[in-house]
Structure 1
Amino acid sequence: MALALAIQFAVIAPAHAQEAPAPAEESVAADGAAEPAGEITVTGSRIVRNGYDTPTPITVVSTQDLQASAPANVADYVNQLPAISGSSTPANNQRGLTSGAAGLNTVSMRNLGSGRTLVLIDGHRTVASTMDGAVDTNLVPQGLIKSIEIVTGGASSVYGSDAVAGVVNYILDRDYTGIKGDLSYGETTYGDDNTYRATLTAGMKFGGGRGHFLLNGTIIQRDGINGVPREWADKGRYLTQNPAYVPGNGQPQYMPANYAGLNVVTGGGIIVNGPARGVYFGEGGTLNHYDYGDNYNPAGNGEWTIGGDWKVNQHIDGTSLQPAERMRGIYGRLSYDIFDNVNVYGEFSYNRSYGLNWGGRQTDRGNIPIACDNAFIPTALLAQYPSLACGTRAPGTTSFSMGSYNADYPTRESDNLRQVYRYVVGAEGNFNLLKTNWKWDAYYQKGIAKNRISLISANRVKLSYAQDAVWNDDHSQIVCRVTRNGSTDPLADGCVPYNRFGIGVNSQDALDYVMGNPWTKQRLQQDVGAINFSTEIDNPWLKPIGLAFGFEHRREAVSGYTPEFAKSGWYSGNFADTVGHYNVNEGYVETLVSLPLNVEFNGAARLTSYQLAGEVVTWKTGFTWSPISDLRVRVVRSKDIRAPNLSELFVAGGGNTNALLNPWSGANARYRGVPQGNLNLKPEKADTWSLGVVYRPSFVPGFGLSVDFYDIKIKGAIDSLSAQQIVDRCFEGNEDLCQQIALSMPDNLAAPRYAYGDGWNRTTGPVPGFADFWVYTVQYNYVGLRAKGLDFEVSYQTPLDRISENLPGTLSIRGLANRAIDRITDNGTQAPTDIVGQNTGSLPTWKYRVTANYVVDDFTMQLTGRGFSGGVFNNNYVECTSGCPASTSINRTISDNHLPGAFYVDAYLSHKFGLGGVNGDLYLQINNLFNKDPALVGAGPSDTSSPDPGTNRSLYDYLGRTFRIGLRFDLGG
């Protein structure tokens, strides 16, 4: 086992109650009240100490914080904190159908991704829920959470890989005795998204107090919202390609617009070329002529209509505004003091999470070929446009092309079942050696995540067969051409003709033939064994010297199974089995040393040996200095790492089907994205600086202020270009990236047969239409990332009788804010991009949360204001309305680049009561008190943006006013 030195600062020493409240980076309750005296674990260190003295900023979320927020899920609260951005939620990832990420609640700090934020439960790692290392926070036993400690800085030397942006540690109340529960119900002001939540916890001592048993159960059911039943979503807001734009005419290329729609899709199909262009088919196959609106310019970009018949292009009814969730969890812990100084324990948890999500209707954007002898071509259409019939053309040749959002078959749907098992056995205690008391703990943990991803999707091959419908030889029946021709393809067996002309024109047999349920299973397993020691060594001149060290072994593995039918040919699906594993051995050492002049030094070092990626040393040094008793200055410098995850190493095939802008034709085209793993990946390396001050003036009791600057610079970050970026760079001259484009399915996905140079080149582009091609996305250590900003916290608590002796109760105020300065990505193929302030993403320039809490007798009232600053669509866009410069793939021109910020108010009321020995708490929580609608952002223009609801669900409140009523009770012990 490789020795890993890691000086960590997670100390377990007595913490003394403070008279004045501290800011949140210290171990205090949300309302500013100090934690009670007793031993506490401070995340960010393995040395037991008072949380007030930690050099690394730590935001503490207490039980009171969570109770006053009363979230349907604890992740809903955590993701509102200013330091958290870029997290995956069921709503903002509802299009992630095939990745297994649909339904996940993850945590991302500094917008660096959930894979660079380490999630712990009681200081222990837990198995990831997906191959990319994301941990689903749904699996935390929510009724047992005592606090959440968020380290807002690198901590790899303390906890190992992945703690680049920080650590989120869920602290459980493992010593609870008695019976307590929390029952609540919530819904929106529109009567939807009905949510039920119940937690029940029981704890008891036995064996004369030497043993302790703990059991917790959690049930969460969220009905979600299918479709987008909100008035704000009915305005057809998209980021369109300006219909008047022609390269060189001085018009902006992009134009945010209301009442817009993609005129290449309607529910029952629309003809997009030829003499019948603009004919679309409605209920029962009725013929209609499309109104392209006043802004339509066939000489420019013809895919977007603004005005006219824009409404017939809308299909957000096939999208989940809020996906449904079903979660069940059980957690048990048994511990016993086998000796006075040795405690053994075992833990078990099982979580079952089921997510149901509508991912948007399948769009065929003008790429449906209709043969001249198609038997479903309406007679009325041929009467108006007789040239559409075969005539002198050979039967089977294309007569025209259509586009459709396929209203006759179901929307794309994912049903994800995730089961996570966690087993822990361990022991902890203390002993005396060389007149020094040592604490130790050792544990083994096995975590298993079983994922079943099941989709409802159309099969592309079957649909191509079914829509190519012709008359049989005696002209008595409509059949599939492959049937008439006697095809031997097994997928042609039982082919039922599919009518492309209208809504409600297809039989159930036709739908059953083209639709299917591709599925796959994944199994992730994590095994961890660790032992840790800590002590304090007497120092006759200053405070004792803290020392800790330990060793850890970890194994990560993935395996899976996909039935053959689900591996290819689907619009959504095309799963591939990923198999692989790697081992990690590491050891660490840490120290804490007091120096003269009120200076304290703490340092950590860790040596980590990865089976595939080699050995890496991480370290951390920090100083705190108190020039006066009211002021503390702190600085930390660290080297942190993130190791490549199972997906980045081993993924082979699978991927997504989507659309992008074909730069050769200027039209949108469908593609199949195929991710490829890379066994040559190395760990990412990050250099982190943190500098801050904490001010707690003695002359203002109850007041605290902290300001912390952070600068995280990552080298060799693992990433891949998107399919759109690959195609755009190929078009602009990058020959290497052209090699990642294929025009047909390779024989071997693991060894792709690239088609560049085989019938096309960069100048002329691929085959006409570019309608069916493959783009390979390969992971490399080639990206530089930088996150820089400021964290602010202010807190104040006072009994109101300090102001006037007649005023009852206690008032506490707490404010958190983040000012993002830089979040830069440099992939070496283009100018670095900065996403700070792009309100199409999740990192606004300012993000803040302010809470005012008033407690009088048994009543608690709290108001929370939360929000973020205004921003732009994209920092690289050039805003102009006329005389615009040339628009490029990086610096697009846009008519209006502004997006507004938002401010929301939440309210909480609770009343404590006692009844027959039961302590209870009735509460009401109202989020978005004034029912403020989200800003209309509008996705687009080159992706399949038309199924999106028209706002950014990572930032804006999209549900409207929500109510939650509940009852907490505690029988005590």
Structure 2
Amino acid sequence: MIPTKAAMYLSASFAVLAATSPAAFAQVADETQTDTYAADEIAAAQNSDGSSMEAIIVSGSRVKRDGYSAPTPETVVGAAELQAKAPANLADVVNQLPALAGSSTPRQATVTVSSGSGGSNFLNLRGLGASRTLVLLDGRRVVGANVNGLVDVNTLPSALVSRIDVVTGGASAAYGSDAVTGVVNFVLDTRFTGLKLEGQTGITTYGDDFNYKVEGAYGTGFAGGRGHFIASATYSKVEGIREVGSRPWYDGQKIIPNPAYTSTNGEPQLINASDVNHSRAAFGGLITSGTLRGTQFGLNGAQSDFTFGTLSGPYMIGGTTSDLASFYALDIPLEQFTTFGRLSFEVNDAFQPFVEVNYGKAIADAPSAYNFHFGNITIQADNAFLPDDLRAQLQPGETSFSFGTLNPDLGRQYGRAKRELQRYVIGAQGDLGGSWSYEVYGQYGQTHVNTQVRNLEIKANYARAVDAVYDVNDNIVCRSTLTDPTNGCVPYNVFGYGLNGQDAIDYVTGASILDQKLEQYVGSASIQGEPAQTWAGPISFATGLEYRKEQVNGTADPISLVNGYFSANYKPSTGKYDVYEGFAEVVVPLLADSKLGESLDFNGAVRRTHYSTSGNVNTWKLGLTYQPISDIRFRAVRSRDIRAPNLNDLFQGGVVASAQTVNDPVIDAQQSGFTAITSGSPSLKPEIARSFSVGAVLTPSFLPGFSLSVDYYDIKISGAINTLTVQQIVDGCYAGNAVLCADVQRTGTTITNVYRRPVNINTEGLKGVDIDGAYVIPADIMGGTVTLRGRATYTDTRYIDDGSTRDEAAGENSGAVPKWRANGSVGFNNDDLGVIFTGRYVSPGKYDNAYTPAVLEDNSIPGAMYFDLSTTFKFEQGSMNGSFFVNVDNVFNKDPVIVSAISQPFLYAPINAQLYDTIGRSFRVGFRLKM
């Protein structure tokens, strides 16, 4: 099979149009200059009056060269597309590009409660992990929003972003570590002049997820144009969707052990069933053993009979509704504020200093699960809160029974992540004479992250409080108080809800708190110029030195330190590392206007890096671009890239998660209730990636306005750093991996603990093809243009090989990498109106490529197609330009594809927000003004 996947070059077609027929498409250029050129055609771009635009740096290279097209595929999202989409945040636009898969967003509550990353937008190219995608602001690093070093796109100055460059290829030689799958560079309009304002608000068709955003930017020159000042501010708020059970399509679907399965009857081991509930707990409490089994409790202790459905281990199909997953949050409530300022001044050609200041603040509230107990509480027969009528039914010798509850009086666990970013840059650039120029800068960034999970059960206090008895004066007290009268224990009534006072709730609950300060120091100096000439033109050369320091310091509350909470027992991370780097890049023209072709350029780069934690490592890039005729250009690049272990990989103190569930091949059944401990590993080494891509860009002269690019890519990572899931660790141990077996602790066959430590596993890889096409046509009607565009990504192979097993994940729609992702649009644009109708497609897939019908009878997951409509009405009033927009996402309110959780199905909703629209139809209206 030949792989096929998408990169995108819509903007390339605009560049061709600007060059071939500037008059016909002047309105496009007038609306936004950045959409009149693309990564491949930047140098050829012109303003609508035919004058040359200021040279723009291609993010795929550190070399500044007129007319140069880098061999690394690059997608440009320009200002016109950003405005047409009118996103609630920049990440929403980038994440719709098919080359991105598995990005973390506020709509993925699974990653938020314990991680402190709630409400963040972390970009993920290729689905190989956000830590392998380098996010830059004007070509410079940004301090991470968490110890993984991931940049939260929410903190970037969106009001000043003029375009977004997405480099879909290895770029470590140009930019250093983390650029394994590529670079997403947010490019600012540093010469913006005037005042612009934008406001928008939105809501879903269900009347929830209300959100709004206001932002503005101001820019002015001074001192006769030698100085320039820009500033921006953005404030936004999202109310969120706190329960998936609020949606009409939710039906409690889960993958569970097949109750009819035996090893000889031919039934599958797992089934995918609807209306699945838990058989060992009710919302207000359930007696799960003995004579009273099946007695449940409700508001104010009301008793009723619990109906058991078809039992399947701890689960049941049908019966009384007892579904913790229905409380899963679909969108995280989020409030954020960002400001940015930049001051530059041209003292002379050789010295042009600048200063940048960036501040961002985000508060994300992540409602999570209740403090659940699935039949694992032991209640003594003399419990003072047990109703007398039930106590009378106990049989002689029945001194205790088991009990399950969601503890509604304690409320849902509530994660709050508060992040504050500060970033300061001071630098200078200028000409050194001739073709040579330089840039130097120093940068300091700091992110203060305070993470709390409130309403957490304190395990020891809860165990004491639920064991309530009468004292000699017939007062209800904790049993422990009889022997320790000053222990402060407050009895807690588990037999229903609405029964406990605040004093009892305060005694058994607390807040797990992790406070961390992340710091990043960067120093960089580079020069570039043209040191020599070949028969085909000047050689361009760039070189530089860079220094970076990353460090984290943290503290955690004392109860977390001893694993005293029900979950989210934080451990502080403390550590640092230094990075020293030197790089060089060259572009050598080999052909120019010859009989063998119009151009042939060689691009090479090398970087030497020293890490204080792991020593030296080299990265490099070799690339060619060949244009035999003006209608077609071929490109190919081979690179060696790295991702060094980050602060989290090396120094994470640990997060403890209880009540884990796994399918255990040792006993051929499911195990639950054990603990998973995630921590760092200081012995990690940098992972090494070898990337290859080859492709072609077509801009046929006989079809003005049309462009098509096709690029094949192959990425192979050796010694890949990976923190495996609990299921992967257990499966890998069963397959014979001794390293992973050391991380699985058992008592007999019962799993008690699983340690999740990052490891340099054997290999990890990805192969596919990127496709991008665009066609811009003059429209005689209404004097505008019609734009047809299509982007697609096909993933042929995406595997992880730990040395004993190879897991092929391409097409597993339970994860992040389907076989196909695509979007296409039809747009019309003129001076008064802009309309874009977009379709987004995800191909069908499977839960797990390794599953056979003997494991799961129906292993398929359907694909989906969603449609969006963006409409912009433009107006002018004197010197003011403005527009009013109305956008509808998921126009036909298509329900999300049901993707049942394989791991911990009792906790997670049957959705996959990485691939599918889980919100439903949503509306946004707003305005823009520019003066």
Once residues 174 and 807 of structure 1 are traced to their aligned partners in structure 2, the CA distance between those partners, rounded to angstroms, is 34
- Quick one: which amino acid aligns to residue 382 of structure 1? R
**CA drift at 1:637:** 0.3
Per-residue deviation, residues 717-746 of structure 1 (Å, max 9, x unmatched): 11234334444566777666554355xxxx
Q: Secondary structure at the match of 2:408?
A: coil
Q: Secondary structure at the match of 2:587?
A: strand
**CA drift at 1:626:** 1.8
**CA drift at 1:128:** 0.8
**CA drift at 1:668:** 4.2
Task: Find out whether 1:420 has 2:436 as its counterpart.
Answer: no
Aligned to 1:822: 797
Aligned ranges 1:726-875 → 2 under 5 Å: 726-727=729-730, 737-741=740-744, 760=747, 764-766=748-750, 773-801=752-780, 808-829=783-804, 831-875=805-849
Rate the CA distance shift 1:724–1:500 in 2: closer, same or farther, 3 A.
farther
Aligned ranges 1:386-785 → 2 under 5 Å: 386-387=395-396, 389-390=398-399, 399-432=400-433, 436-456=434-454, 457-474=456-473, 476-486=474-484, 493-539=487-533, 541-567=535-561, 568-596=563-591, 597=596, 598-661=599-662, 663=664, 666=669, 668-727=671-730, 737-741=740-744, 760=747, 764-766=748-750, 773-785=752-764
Aligned to 2:340: 331
- Quick one: which amino acid aligns to residue 791 of structure 2? L
Rate the CA distance shift 1:28–1:947 in 2: closer, same or farther, 3 A.
farther
Aligned to 2:267: 251
Of residues 65, 90, 96 in structure 1, which corresponds to 2:112?
A: 96
CA contact (8 A) 1:95 1:360 kept: no
Once residues 65 and 690 of structure 1 are traced to their aligned partners in structure 2, the CA distance between those partners, rounded to angstroms, is 27
Q: Percent identity?
A: 40
Rate the CA distance shift 1:249–1:229 in 2: closer, same or farther, 3 A.
closer
CA contact (8 A) 1:239 1:256 kept: yes
- Quick one: which amino acid aligns to residue 789 of structure 1? G
Of residues 213, 218, 228 in structure 2, which corresponds to 1:212?
A: 228
Rate the CA distance shift 1:168–1:929 in 2: closer, same or farther, 3 A.
same
RMSD of aligned residue pairs (Cα, Å): 2.4
Per-residue deviation, residues 620-666 of structure 1 (Å, max 9, x unmatched): 00011122221111110000000000111112233322421474594
Aligned to 2:899: 937
**CA drift at 1:291:** 2.4
Aligned to 1:320: 329
Q: Secondary structure at the match of 2:695?
A: strand
Rate the CA distance shift 1:538–1:19 in 2: closer, same or farther, 3 A.
farther
Per-residue deviation, residues 432-476 of structure 1 (Å, max 9, x unmatched): 2xxx320110000000010000111111111111112222234x0
Once residues 850 and 481 of structure 1 are traced to their aligned partners in structure 2, the CA distance between those partners, rounded to angstroms, is 67
Aligned to 2:199: 183
CA contact (8 A) 1:42 1:49 kept: no
Once residues 265 and 700 of structure 2 are traced to their aligned partners in structure 1, the CA distance between those partners, rounded to angstroms, is 63
- Quick one: which amino acid aligns to residue 148 of structure 1? I
- Quick one: which amino acid aligns to residue 373 of structure 2? D
Once residues 714 and 47 of structure 2 are traced to their aligned partners in structure 1, the CA distance between those partners, rounded to angstroms, is 31
Task: Find out whether 1:57 has 2:67 as its counterpart.
Answer: no
Q: Secondary structure at the match of 1:307?
A: strand
Once residues 280 and 864 of structure 2 are traced to their aligned partners in structure 1, the CA distance between those partners, rounded to angstroms, is 34
- Quick one: which amino acid aligns to residue 653 of structure 2? A
CA contact (8 A) 2:131 2:149 kept: yes
**CA drift at 1:306:** 1.3
CA contact (8 A) 1:187 1:962 kept: yes
- Quick one: which amino acid aligns to residue 483 of structure 1? T
Aligned to 1:195: 211
CA contact (8 A) 1:372 1:388 kept: no
CA contact (8 A) 1:22 1:795 kept: no
Aligned to 1:966: 926
Once residues 120 and 263 of structure 2 are traced to their aligned partners in structure 1, the CA distance between those partners, rounded to angstroms, is 42
Aligned ranges 1:230-269 → 2 under 5 Å: 230-269=246-285
**CA drift at 1:232:** 3.5
| TM-score, with length taken from structure 1 | 0.88
CA contact (8 A) 1:641 1:684 kept: yes
Task: Find out whether 1:290 has 2:306 as its counterpart.
Answer: yes
Task: Find out whether 1:956 has 2:916 as its counterpart.
Answer: yes
**CA drift at 1:954:** 1.4
Gaps of 5+ in 1: 1-14, 391-398, 743-755, 885-892
Rate the CA distance shift 1:145–1:387 in 2: closer, same or farther, 3 A.
farther
Rate the CA distance shift 1:733–1:374 in 2: closer, same or farther, 3 A.
farther
Per-residue deviation, residues 537-560 of structure 1 (Å, max 9, x unmatched): 452621211111000000010001
Once residues 938 and 23 of structure 1 are traced to their aligned partners in structure 2, the CA distance between those partners, rounded to angstroms, is 44
Rate the CA distance shift 1:37–1:733 in 2: closer, same or farther, 3 A.
closer
CA contact (8 A) 2:349 2:431 kept: no
CA contact (8 A) 1:373 1:389 kept: no
- Quick one: which amino acid aligns to residue 828 of structure 1? G
Once residues 711 and 729 of structure 1 are traced to their aligned partners in structure 2, the CA distance between those partners, rounded to angstroms, is 25
Per-residue deviation, residues 806-836 of structure 1 (Å, max 9, x unmatched): 673211111110001111011124x211111
Q: Secondary structure at the match of 2:426?
A: strand
Structure 1, 510-519 or 684-693: larger mean CA deviation: 510-519
CA contact (8 A) 1:26 1:59 kept: no
Per-residue deviation, residues 487-529 of structure 1 (Å, max 9, x unmatched): 88xxxx3211112222323222211111111212100000000
Aligned to 2:127: 111
Once residues 700 and 47 of structure 2 are traced to their aligned partners in structure 1, the CA distance between those partners, rounded to angstroms, is 16
Per-residue deviation, residues 385-412 of structure 1 (Å, max 9, x unmatched): 434743xxxxxxxx22222222222111
Q: Secondary structure at the match of 1:235?
A: coil
Aligned to 2:32: none
Q: Secondary structure at the match of 2:524?
A: strand
Q: Secondary structure at the match of 1:544?
A: strand
Q: Secondary structure at the match of 1:466?
A: helix
Aligned to 1:748: none
Q: Secondary structure at the match of 1:225?
A: coil
Once residues 727 and 542 of structure 1 are traced to their aligned partners in structure 2, the CA distance between those partners, rounded to angstroms, is 59
Aligned to 1:394: none
Aligned ranges 1:132-171 → 2 under 5 Å: 132-171=148-187
Q: Secondary structure at the match of 1:510?
A: helix
CA contact (8 A) 1:686 1:712 kept: yes
Once residues 964 and 239 of structure 1 are traced to their aligned partners in structure 2, the CA distance between those partners, rounded to angstroms, is 36
Once residues 833 and 603 of structure 1 are traced to their aligned partners in structure 2, the CA distance between those partners, rounded to angstroms, is 34
CA contact (8 A) 2:821 2:843 kept: yes
- Quick one: which amino acid aligns to residue 777 of structure 2? T
**CA drift at 1:714:** 0.1
- Quick one: which amino acid aligns to residue 929 of structure 2? F
Gaps of 5+ in 2: 1-14, 22-34
Once residues 388 and 910 of structure 1 are traced to their aligned partners in structure 2, the CA distance between those partners, rounded to angstroms, is 76
